[in-house]
Chain A
Amino acid sequence: MSKTVNGVVIDDTFAEAFGMSGTGIIITADTLKWARIAATVATGFGTSVIGCGAECGIDKELTPDETPDGRPGVRILIFGFSPDALVPQIRNRIGQCVLTSPGSACYAGFKSDKSIALGKGPRLFGDGFQTAKKLGGTRYWRVPVMDGEFVIEEETGLTTDAVGGGNMLILGTDRAGLLETAEAAVDAIAKVDDVITPFPGGIVRSGSKVGAKYAGMFASTNDAFCPTLRGTTKKTELAPDTLAVLEIVIDGLTSKAVADAMRVGLKAVTDVGAKRGVTRITAGNYGGKLGQHHYHLKDLI
């Protein structure tokens, strides 16, 4: 039974999410600008594990008081299907994007009993000139580089209880208004700790279904939600006046964080959506076959 909030219909359905492995990494630099640049590049091409190897994003910005070296920083999150899948992603992304970025340093951004390599690979760039400094239980590597030293912590925390694929689909009659509403939802979600919205600007226009008619394609366009196919595809989910659909995908270090993020996202949409042409909110589920985490929209409103 659907529900209407501030003129927006909320479907009685759930977002189906799946278990992932995740980690947090703090990137600092001389200025917040350069910490952001390193973090943005390191999390680039990190939208969907279907094709990217890892889902990545910036979780939050950190003040100098919150970082291990007293410089401005950014915390990024990286998610993958397994710890083994994360190892090369972390090594390559940090090695190619943070090690190379002027003035950067890199630290564990997540505390946990489990850990995963962070500096173990990039330290080898030091070609034998690298040195380690162990303070308490933490080992830092110092890799000589052309602007001084790249400092990187040996390991960062790992969770295998992370959740990927929390989502909501926002339907509307005005494409520009829909995008503005989705942006407001992403901004609200950005204030929640331990979550990222990995797609460009946090918003997905290419919702996918599992499988495809072409060999080698694991996912393809979600034709049931494509407005231009309304009436021509076998199963359409769209009302006659729906002009566009946008999706927000959420990954979190914990299930609670994902639920919190969906809650504030839904509120942002229902607060302003109707005036901007939003008519309905639904969520992507696969009949319970995709993942063990189900976020029922009615419980989050």
Chain B
Amino acid sequence: MSGLTLRLKAPATERLTLSGITPAKLSALSEHDIAHLDVGIEKGGMALGDAFDISGSAGDVLTIEGATPELDFIGLGLDSGTIRVIGDAGSYAGRKMTGGKLEIHGNAAHFLASGSTGGMIHVRGNAGDNLGGMIPGDRFGMLGGITVVEGNIGSRAGDKMRRGVIVVRGKTGAHTGSRMIGGTIWAEGGIGPEPGLMMRRGTLIGPSVEKLLPTFVDTGKHDLVIVRVISRYLKTVLGDLAPKPMPLFVQKIGGDLATIGRGEILLPAA
């Protein structure tokens, strides 16, 4: 695959922030300017060329090899093209993404896809807490786009999420969909304890849930057309990565009744 490749020279001695390091932005810079981009957070700074061996030429694809969890903000603001991360990504990967694709061939730390409005994130490994969540200063968590995590994810995924889809092959941690306003989280391996705390709207889908909050209520068994629409949409955009369709009938758990109660947890009907 052509494009620019960044290879971490040595284990990072400080956290590095790769905010704004996107294929489109690098394409507009000279080799000299790329090498002098500041990626450090400590006094004195750290230039991109000091931390990484840079090879190839800027194009639609940016590959980060030898990535470690010290690399934060990978793909922040990505709007087009592809970033491939070979290794693990630090926190805030894919934050405020609007388009393009972020592939992480390893694990991702916390706040993956926070505040993103578009694009596609694919994590081969696990992801940390607050996937698609918000950080102080944000009004909302994830606002659009699709994130697929093949492993498990941490707690409070989708905190204040408003739109978009999170697909998890494994299990979610506690309080998935807390304060959720909209969007969809589909966990094929099961939903962790006490999901949907203070959720207003939004959809959590999974084969099981570990423990329900008392402010959620069983609304019965339904054949929901929207589940078919979601399944078909995900099959179209994700292909083989799409979750297996739910059974025709689902059990709908409505809540959180501590708020307006328009949220839902969908489980296979017994």
Report yes or no: A151 in contact with B226, Cβ–Cβ below 8 A: yes
Q: How far is the CA of A135 from the CA of B231 in the complex (A)?
A: 11
Check if B225 sits within 8 Å of A149, measured CB to CB: yes
B residues less than 8 Å from A105 (CB atoms): 225
- The dominant DSSP class at the B interface is mixed
By DSSP majority rule, is chain A's interface helix, strand, loop, or mixed?
strand
Q: Is A231 an interface residue (CB 8 A)?
A: no
Contact with A along B197-240 (1 / 0, CB 8 A): 00001010000000000000000001111101111110001000
A70 touching B230, Cβ below 8 Å: no
* B 112-136 contacts with A by CB, 8 A: none
Report B-chain residues with C-beta under 8 Å of the C-beta of A114: none
- Would you call B182 an interface residue if the criterion is a C-beta within 8 Å of the partner chain's C-beta atoms? yes
- How far is the CB of A30 from the nearest CB of chain B, in Å? 9
Q: Does B163 contact A (CB under 8 A)?
A: yes
Instruction: Check B228 against A135 for contact (C-beta < 8 Å).
Output: no
Please determine whether B225 and A151 come into contact, CB atoms closer than 8 angstroms: yes
Of A70, A105, A135, most buried by chain B (CB within 10 Å of CB) is A135
Report how far A71 CA is from B225 CA in the complex, Å.
9
Q: Is the CB of B237 within 8 A of A136?
A: yes
Q: Taking the nearest CB of chain B, how far is it from the CB of A130, in angstroms?
A: 9
Nearest CB of chain A from residue B120's CB, rounded to whole Å: 11
Give every chain A residue within 8 A of B228 (Cβ-Cβ).
Answer: 69-71
* A210–B223 alpha-carbon span in the complex (Å): 52
* Contacting pair B224 A149 (CB below 8 A): yes
Beta-carbon nearest neighbor of A135 in chain B: B233
Contact with B along A125-151 (1 / 0, CB 8 A): 000010111111010101000001101
CB distance from B144 to the nearest CB of A (A): 8
Q: Which residues of B are at the interface with A, using a C-beta cutoff of 8 A?
A: 144, 163, 165, 182, 184, 201, 203, 222-226, 228-233, 237, 262
- What is the interface of chain A, defined by CB distance below 8 A to chain B? 28, 68-71, 105, 129, 131-136, 138, 140, 142, 148-149, 151
Known: A68-B229, A134-B182. 10 other contacts (CB 8 A): A69-B225, A105-B225, A133-B229, A134-B144, A135-B229, A135-B233, A140-B226, A148-B224, A148-B225, A149-B222
